[in-house]
Structure 1
C-alpha cells in the first residue's frame, strides 16, 4: 500500500466518523427538542421519553429538520401552546450545539 493509499484510507475513515457523529448529534438534538417540547406539553417520565422518541423518528420521513419543526409546532399548537417557528428553530440551534458537545464527549 502506497503512502497515497494510506492517506486516502485515513481520509475516508475520518469522513465516515464525521458523518456518524453528525448523525448522532442530530438524533441527540431531536431527542432534546422532544424532551423540551414534552415539558411544555406537561408530559413527564415515560410519556416524555416516548414523545421524544416520536420526535426523533419524525426526522426520518425524508424532510429532516423541517419534519421535526412541523411535528413539534403542530403538537404544541394542538395543546394551545404558542411557540413561533422562529423560536423553535432558535431552540433547535441551541440544542444542536449542546448535542454536538455531548456526542464529542461520548455521552
Structure 2
C-alpha cells in the first residue's frame, strides 16, 4: 500500500471514529435534555425515562437539532411549562458540554 493510500485509509478511519463520537455525544445530550425536560414536566421513574427516549428519537426526524427543540417546546407549551426558546437553546448548549465530557470520559 502506498503512503497516499495509507494516509487516505487513516483519514477515513479517523472520520468514522469522529462521526461515531459526535453521534454518541448528540444522543447523550438529547437524553440529558429529555431527563431535564421530564423533570420540568413533573414526570418521574419510567415515565421520565420514556420521555427522555422520546426526545432522543425526535432527533431522527430531520437534520439538525430543531426537531428536538421543537418537540420539547411543544410539550412545554402543552403542559404550561414556562421556558423560552432562548433558555431552552441555552440549556441544550450547556448539556452538550456535559455530554461531551461524559462520552470522552467513557472512551
- TM-score band, normalised by the shorter chain? over 0.9
How far has the Cα of 1:64 moved from its partner?
3.1
Instruction: Measure the CA separation in 1 of the matches of 2:104 and 2:63.
Output: 26
Query: Which structure 1 segments of 5+ residues have no match?
Result: none
TM-score, normalised via structure 1 length? 0.95
Report how many aligned residue pairs link the two structures: 107
- C-alpha distance in 1, partners of 2:20/2:27? 11
Partner-residue secondary structure (3-state), 1:64: coil
- Deviation >6 Å, runs of 4+: none
Alignment TM-score, normalising by the size of structure 2: 0.95
Match of 2:15 in 1: 15
Give 5+ residue unaligned stretches, structure 2: none
Q: Deviations over 1:32-72 (max 9, x none)?
A: 00000000011111111000000000111114310110110
